[in-house]
Amino acid sequence: MRKLIRIPGICAASGGGRSKLYSEQKEGLWPPFVKPSDGIAGLFDDEIELIQNAIAAGADKAQRREVVKFIVAQRKAAMPKVAA
C-alpha cells in the first residue's frame, strides 16, 4: 500500500526546506501535491523515491521533469473510469 508523506516529511527526505521544495515544484522538478482533504497535502512514498533515484543518478532538470511527467501520467492512469 502506498503511503502519503506530508510536506515536512518530504523536506526531511529531500534534505531541503519548504521554500526549496515549493520553488522546485514550480520549476516542474517535483510533482503536484496530492490533496486528499482540506489541510492535508503530500506525495506518495514511491513518487519521492523515483525523484530521489533520478537525483542520485545525476539527472539534470530536463530529465527530472520527465520523471515528474511519468508520475503525473501514472496518477491519471490509476483513476477509475466514471460513466457520465
Instruction: Note the pLDDT tens digit of each residue in 34-70.
Output: 999 999 999 999 999 999 999 999 999 999 999 999 9
Where do the domains of the chain lie? Answer: 4-78
4-78 to CATH, choices 3.30.300, 3.40.50, 1.10.1660, 1.10.287: 1.10.1660
- As given in the structure block, the three cell numbers for residue 38 are 482540506
- Residue 81's pLDDT is what? 79
- β-pairing, 4-6 vs 40-44, is antiparallel
* pLDDT tens, residue by residue, 1-44: 899 999 999 999 999 999 999 999 999 999 999 999 999 999 99
71 CB neighbour count, 10 Å cutoff: 20
> Terminus-to-terminus CA distance in the chain, angstroms?
29
- Residue 84's pLDDT band (cuts 50, 70, 90): low
